Amino acid sequence: MRATVIHGPRDIRLEDVPDPEVRLATDALVRVVASCVCGSDLWPYRGVTETSEPGRIGHEFVGVVEDMGSEVATLKVGDFVIAPFALSDNTCVHCRNGVHTSCERGAWWGGRDEHDLPIDAGQGEAVRVPMADGTLVATPGMPDDAAIPSLLTLSDVMGTGHHAAVSAGVGPRTTVVVVGDGAVGLCGVLAAKRLGAERVIAMSRHSDRQEVARAFGATDIVEERGDAGVARVRDLLGGVGADSVLECVGTKESMQQAIDSARPGGRVGYVGVPAGGAELPIRQLFGSNVSVGGGVAPVRGYLEELLAATMDGSIDPGRVFDLHLPLEQVADAYAAMDERRSIKVLLRP
Instruction: Note the residues at the interface with a copy of itself (CB under 8 A).
Output: 93-94, 97-99, 101-102, 167, 238, 240, 255, 263-265, 267, 270, 273-274, 278-283, 285-296, 298
Which is closer to a copy of itself, CB of 98 or CB of 326? 98
Report in angstroms how near the CB of residue 297 gets to a copy of itself at its nearest: 8
Which is closer to a copy of itself, CB of 143 or CB of 295? 295
Which is closer to a copy of itself, CB of 174 or CB of 310? 174
Angle at 345 between CA 81 and CA 62, to 5 degrees: 5
User: DSSP for 68-109?
Assistant: E-TT--S--TT-EEEE-SEE--S-SHHHHTT-GGG-TT-EET
Own/partner pairs for 211-219, CB < 8 Å, 24+ apart?
A: 212/186, 212/319, 212/320, 212/322, 212/343, 213/178, 213/181, 213/186, 213/189, 215/319, 216/186, 216/187, 216/189, 216/190, 216/317, 216/319, 217/189, 217/190, 217/192, 217/193, 218/178, 218/189
Per the CB < 8 A criterion, the answer to whether 271 and 160 are in contact is yes
Report in angstroms how near the CB of residue 247 gets to a copy of itself at its nearest: 11
Report in angstroms how near the CB of residue 255 gets to a copy of itself at its nearest: 8
How many whole angstroms separate alpha carbon 152 and alpha carbon 148? 6
Which is closer to a copy of itself, CB of 86 or CB of 183? 86
Which is closer to a copy of itself, CB of 98 or CB of 226? 98
Report in angstroms how near the CB of residue 123 gets to a copy of itself at its nearest: 24
Report in angstroms how near the CB of residue 326 gets to a copy of itself at its nearest: 34
CA distances from 341 to 4, 40, 60 (A): 21, 16, 20
CA distances from 300 to 97, 134, 136 (A): 12, 9, 8
How many whole angstroms separate alpha carbon 140 and alpha carbon 134? 17
Which is closer to a copy of itself, CB of 109 or CB of 270? 270
Report in angstroms how near the CB of residue 83 gets to a copy of itself at its nearest: 20
Report in angstroms how near the CB of residue 325 gets to a copy of itself at its nearest: 31
Which is closer to a copy of itself, CB of 4 or CB of 167? 167
267 bridge partner residues: 244, 291
How many whole angstroms separate alpha carbon 120 and alpha carbon 110? 5
How many whole angstroms separate alpha carbon 111 and alpha carbon 108? 5
Report in angstroms how near the CB of residue 331 gets to a copy of itself at its nearest: 30
How many whole angstroms separate alpha carbon 283 and alpha carbon 24? 51
Report in angstroms how near the CB of residue 291 gets to a copy of itself at its nearest: 3
Which is closer to a copy of itself, CB of 63 or CB of 134? 134
Which is closer to a copy of itself, CB of 116 or CB of 279? 279
Q: Are strands 291-294 and 55-56 parallel, antiparallel or unpaired?
A: unpaired
